[in-house]
Amino acid sequence: MKIALFLASHALLFGAGWLAFHGTQEAAPASDTSRKSGFRNRDAEKEEGKRLVKEMRAAWGTQAEAEKAADYREKRRREADQPREGNAVEEEMAKILKLSAQVQLPADPAAEMKRLEKGDTRALAAFALAWLRADSKAALAFLESNPEIHGRSASRYFFALWVREWGAGAVPDLVEGNPKLRGVVAGFVMQEAAAEDPSSLGDLMARMEGWLDRSELLERAFHKELPEGKRAAALDWITANLKGREVGNSIMKIAINTEDKREGKTFLKAAMAGGLEPEVIEQLKGWGNFHDIMRSGVGPDSPLNERVELLLDSGIEGKTPEEKQASAMQRIATEDVERWLMESFLFHSLKSGDVGAEELWGQVEAALPQFSDPAGRDLMLKAFIQESSLSDPEGALALMQKEGKESEVAEHFLTSIESGIHRNVEASIRLAAVIPTEELRENISLYDRFYSTAINNAAAEYGSFWVDWIQRQPAGLNRDLVMHYTAKRLVKKGKDAEAASLRELIQDLGIKERPLR
């Protein structure tokens, strides 16, 4: 496949180069301005050749990306069908636990700990656990006076296993006399309590007050994945005992640390449906992770209701529920139309003129049956017009008229022009030219805003070729407006005579009388 893409892309490069070269052999443009000046559009034609090459490369890149995306989706599907791999930390703890059962404590455990200090982490953790199990007081006293050991990574294993064996409720009393260890052990106590009995968290926080900051105790409680059967109890405790941002932070920590994000999504939805305060729900939606989790299990092939629900949960724009629902449906329609055009490679055919908007619309309808009802079809048409109108203005207009949407032409085309004016000013101007004059006049202030910057930049980039090009555009209000802003650019560059000549071609008196300075 890579070889085919390589050969094809090079063939296209050759073809585009030939087109660009051939274009330079054509006669000079028919414009009087270019004939008088002897101006040849070689630079512009070279740029057009480069543009064709860029588009051709983009088309082949789209194919490669589509295949890559398909491979990725298939890989994720296979992974989803497989049982999840065991947690690496838990697997290591299981090995340490097994090894600790084989440890024979010597007469001087402290000396052995010193010997193991710079050795294997697993062996050190297993020995420390065996000593804590046999004589917690002595082991804790040793660790208290040897911070270089309890500061090693091995401590996260032996402390966690020791707390698990003794129970979260028993450990605080055992560590009370070891102030240097309290902060370390408190986190494991909170983790174990959350995993075994979330209702005990409040009592433990009171007993370990001052061992860690309150926020750190809560963070440690939900730092690891909770068993599925304990999440509801944890949520009950959170909503009954915490206040303000602690509620949202704790709920989000549980969801983030749930390995299967689909389970995390289920937990979040249950939390939001359980009577959370509106400000807490807004806090949850403010987390970047919230949207990642809520997208879990929802993709382009999911039922529309699930996709709409996802967008609604993510905070889609809209003042009323009806407006939000409509916004969500329009976004989905736009995404689906754009995705299909790119994955089918017909978007490039549309841009190159090989296929027109009217012809392509029938294929879009057949490819996206989820929008077959009248309301869905209108959303799909709006999305398609926005995608196709810059490439085929006349075809898009004919399609709108065929579908009985003449009254919506200006609205839909305006959206396309606003999004495309700076990346393709020529196409945007050609599209504006097919809008009925009176509808264009009603929105002229918007086009003033669009054209004031975009035409200034285009005139600066293309020079006399730009002046020649706009004179060849269809006469009308749109061309007059473009000429006005081009003339303003010429005046700014000190070309008053050229600006005056261009101004004479403007037919609309209101635009013609506008000042150029």
The listed range with the strongest mean pLDDT (59-63, 202-206, 255-259, 326-330) is 202-206
Residue 54 has pLDDT above 50, yes or no: no
- Tokens 């909170």 belong to which residue? 190
Range from 184-193, 290-299, 476-485 carrying the lowest mean pLDDT: 290-299
Q: How many other CB atoms are there within 10 angstroms of residue 24's CB atom?
A: 13
The last residue of a domain, from among 436, 461, 493 = 436
- Give the pLDDT confidence score for residue 347 in this predicted structure: 77
What residues have CB less than 8 Å from 431, skipping those under 6 apart? 389, 390, 393, 396, 413, 416, 417, 420
Instruction: Please check whether residues 343 and 403 belong to one and the same domain.
Output: yes
pLDDT given for residue 212 in this prediction = 94
Looking at the fold, whether 414 and 468 belong to one and the same domain comes out as no
Which residue intervals of 101-244 are DSSP H helices?
109-116, 121-134, 136-144, 147-150, 154-166, 171-175, 179-196, 201-207, 214-221, 231-241
310 and 420: one domain? yes
pLDDT at site 8: 47
- At 48 the pLDDT is 61
Same domain, yes or no, for 283 and 328?
Answer: no
pLDDT at res. 10: 45
pLDDT higher than threshold 50 for residue 17: no
- 509 and 460: one domain? yes
Query: Is residue 360 included in any domain, yes or no?
Result: yes
Residue range 316-342, pLDDT digits in tens: 777 788 888 888 899 999 999 989 988
| Helix, strand, coil % in the chain, rounded to nearest 5 | 75, 0, 25
Interior/surface letters 160-169, b for 16+ CB within 10 angstroms, e for the rest: bbbbbebebb
**Cross-strand bridge partners of residue 212:** 209
Considering the domain boundaries, does residue 36 fall inside one? no
Are residues 265 and 346 part of one domain?
no
Q: Are residues 432 and 308 in the same domain?
A: yes
* Region for 70 from its dihedrals, namely left if φ exceeds 0, alpha if ψ lies in -120 to 50, beta otherwise: alpha
More confident: 130 or 10 = 130
CA-to-CA dists, residue 317 to 278, 285, 290, 336, angstroms? 17, 13, 17, 19
CA atoms within a 13 Å half-sphere pointing along the CA-CB vector of 186: 24
pLDDT of residue 43: 52
29 φψ region: left (φ > 0), alpha (ψ -120 to 50), beta (else): beta
**pLDDT for res 325:** 87
Q: What is the mean pLDDT of the chain?
A: 83
Is 251 within a domain? yes
Confidence band, pLDDT 50/70/90 cuts, at residue 219: very high
The answer to the question of residue 111 being in a domain is no
Domain membership of residue 268 as a residue range: 225-295
Does a structural domain hold residue 200? no
pLDDT at position 257, please?
92
Q: What is residue 20's predicted lDDT score, i.e. its pLDDT?
A: 42
Considering only CA atoms, give the Rg of the chain.
34
Q: Tell me which amino acid residue 193 is.
A: A
16: confidence class by pLDDT, cuts 50, 70, 90: very low
pLDDT given for residue 28 in this prediction? 37
The model's pLDDT over 386-415, given as tens digits with 9 standing for 90+, comes to: 889 999 999 999 999 999 988 888 888 988
Domain boundary among 295, 322, 354: 295
Whether 478 and 506 map to the same domain: the answer is yes
Tell me whether residue 70 is in a domain: no
pLDDT in tens, 81-133: 444 444 788 899 999 999 999 999 999 999 999 999 888 899 999 999 999 99
Q: Tell me, what's the pLDDT at 39?
A: 38
CB atoms within 10 A of CB 437: 11
- The verdict on residue 22 lying in a domain is no
- CB-CB contact of 354 with 55 (8 Å): no
Task: Evaluate if residue 75 carries a pLDDT over 70.
Answer: no
Specify the pLDDT at position 151. 65
Q: Is residue 269 located within the same domain as residue 329? A: no
- Decide which of 44 and 95 is more confident: 95
Give the count of domains, the chain: 3
Lowest mean pLDDT among 6-10, 101-105, 212-216: 6-10
Q: Could you tell me how far CA 108 lies from the centroid of its own chain?
A: 59
The full DSSP string for 82-116 is SPPPPPHHHHHHHHHHHHHTT----S-HHHHHHHH
pLDDT of 186 reads: 96
* 310 and 389 belong to one structural domain: yes
Length of the chain: 517
Q: What is the pLDDT of residues 237-263, one digit of tens each?
A: 999 999 989 999 999 999 999 988 889
Tokens of 216: 């750190």
Pair (353, 469) in one structural domain: no
Q: Are 180 and 147 in contact (CB under 8 A)?
A: yes
Domain end position, chosen among 401, 436, 471: 436
Look at 382 and 7; give whichever has higher pLDDT: 382
Q: Please report which confidence band the pLDDT of residue 464 belongs to, taking 50, 70 and 90 as the band edges.
A: confident
Percent of the chain with pLDDT over 70: 83
218 vs 36: CA distance, rounded Å:
80
Q: Are residues 245 and 287 in the same domain?
A: yes
- Could you tell me which residues are beta bridge partners of residue 209? 212
pLDDT in tens, 282-319: 899 888 888 888 888 777 888 888 888 888 876 777 77
388, 357 Cβ separation under 8 angstroms:
yes
Closest-CA residue to 430 (of 382, 464, 472): 472
Residue 384 has pLDDT above 70, yes or no: yes
User: Does 45 fall in a domain?
Assistant: no
Q: Which residue has the tokens 């619309």?
A: 361
Residues 6+ apart with CB under 8 A from 102: 126
pLDDT at 26: 38
Question: Which of 331, 247, 255, 328 shows the shortest CA–CA distance to 293?
Answer: 255
Eight-class DSSP state of 209: B
Q: Is the pLDDT of residue 353 over 50?
A: yes
For the cut 60, the answer to whether the pLDDT of residue 66 exceeds it is no
